[in-house]
């Protein structure tokens, strides 16, 4: 996306303010499966640190679009990411050379993300995409106490209880198959 491509000549001694709102689908490079997103707002400052070093500090705000993992209801999961990226002008190393250099460093050492760029402009798009992907939730729920769908009839248990009674058969529908495998372990309800 061209609005996130900042020419070096535009960066003054005080830096440059970056404020861009982009449709989520325009952030992804061609050939990459896009994540469904709402409009994403990128705001921050890009400052020059040295002859070839630059620093971006800002926020990325938007929402992931998807479905609840339990009941399949459509949902939007908001994100508000604080970012600090360091950009260094130079020739990017090839992947194998980069791995061998990383062998000498501590993998747990904290450092801001450093991106190598070539040419006369800094493209923030790959950094934005990486940040959004890494912050994506592994599981999305419409609400914390989502009851999900009935395993037998598919009814949304958030809306109404179903009449198929799958929970009453074993006490826990997730373990229903175990009751069939171990029939001698069924509790005797009459003794209790």
Name the percent of the chain lying above pLDDT 70.
77
Read off the pLDDT of residues 19-35 as tens digits, 9 standing for 90 and up: 999 998 888 888 888 88
Least confident of 42-51, 61-70, 94-103: 94-103
> What is the value of pTM for the model shown?
0.72
For residue 99, the model assigns a pLDDT of 54
Tokens 């440059």 belong to which residue?
A: 16
Closest CA to 186 of 173, 169, 174: 169
- Regarding beta strands 74-89 and 113-117, do their DSSP bridges make them parallel or antiparallel, or are they unpaired? parallel
Confidence of residue 112 (pLDDT cuts 50, 70, 90): low
CB 21 within 8 A of CB 139: no
The rounded distance, in Å, linking the Cα atoms of 90 and 84 is 19
Q: pLDDT band for position 73 (50/70/90)? A: very high
Q: How many CA atoms lie within 13 Å of 155's alpha carbon, on the beta-carbon side? A: 12
């Amino acid at each position: 996306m061209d609005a996130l491509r900042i020419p070096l000549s535009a960066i003054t001694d005080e830096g440059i303010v970056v404020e861009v709102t982009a449709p989520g689908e325009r952030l992804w490079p061609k050939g990459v499966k896009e994540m469904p997103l709402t409009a994403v707002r990128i705001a921050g400052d890009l400052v020059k640190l040295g002859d070839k070093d630059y620093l971006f500090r800002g926020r990325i705000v938007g929402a992931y679009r998807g479905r609840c993992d339990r009941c399949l209801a459509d949902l939007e999961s908001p994100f508000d990411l604080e970012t600090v990226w360091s950009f260094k002008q130079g020739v990017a190393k090839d992947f194998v050379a980069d791995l061998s250099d990383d062998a000498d460093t501590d993998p747990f050492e904290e450092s801001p993300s450093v991106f190598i760029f070539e040419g006369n402009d800094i493209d923030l798009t790959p950094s934005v995409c990486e940040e959004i992907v890494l912050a994506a939730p592994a599981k999305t729920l419409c609400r914390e106490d989502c009851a999900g769908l009935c395993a037998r009839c598919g009814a949304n248990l958030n809306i109404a209880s179903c009449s198929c009674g799958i929970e009453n058969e074993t006490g826990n529908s997730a373990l229903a198959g175990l009751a069939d495998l171990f029939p001698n372990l069924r509790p005797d309800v009459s003794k209790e």
